[in-house]
Amino acid sequence: GAVVSQHPSRVICKSGTSVKIECRSLDFQATTMFWYRQFPKQSLMLMATSNEGSKATYEQGVEKDKFLINHASLTLSTLTVTSAHPEDSSFYICSAKGGGRPLHFGNGTRLTVT
């Protein structure tokens, strides 16, 4: 069964609103979680790395004020897309690592901004 749960799987929101995506490790403590974004027919692009209890490390070109990442506990990280615009429409996916477990990915979230 899934060891990393991502919610919601799909979300449609209006331009200007904010959307929160959750990533949970189900049976292990994820000391590190990663957030990726995928455009159609392109690779998964790493957006940021988050370690529990500390600020996320963002990749070059990723706006930290737009993509807020919180990793408040060892089993939960959230990505909030603030003031979403149509160009933010994409597939967002998280992965989690910790406790000697191999890296596991969530099933992703399809965000559509209208």
Partner 1 sequence: DQQVKQNSPSLSVQEGRISILNCDYTNSMFDYFLWYKKYPAEGPTFLISISSIKDKNEDGRFTVFLNKSAKHLSLHIVPSQPGDSAVYFCAASVSGNTGKLIFGQGTTLQVKP
User: Among residues 13 and 46, whose Cβ is nearest to partner 1?
Assistant: 46
Within 10 angstroms of residue 29's Cβ, the number of other Cβ atoms is: 13
User: Among residues 9 and 83, whose Cβ is nearest to partner 1?
Assistant: 9
User: Among residues 71 and 97, whose Cβ is nearest to partner 1?
Assistant: 97
CB of 44: closest distance to partner 1 in angstroms?
4
List contacts with partner 1 (CB under 8 A). 4, 6, 9, 32, 34, 36, 41-46, 49, 93, 95, 97, 102-108
73 and 2 Cβ atoms separated by less than 8 Å = no
CB of 49: closest distance to partner 1 in angstroms?
6
Between the alpha carbon of residue 3 and those of residues 12, 17, 30, 98, 101, the distances in Å are: 25, 30, 11, 12, 10
CB of 16: closest distance to partner 1 in angstroms?
28
d(CA 89, CA 71): 23
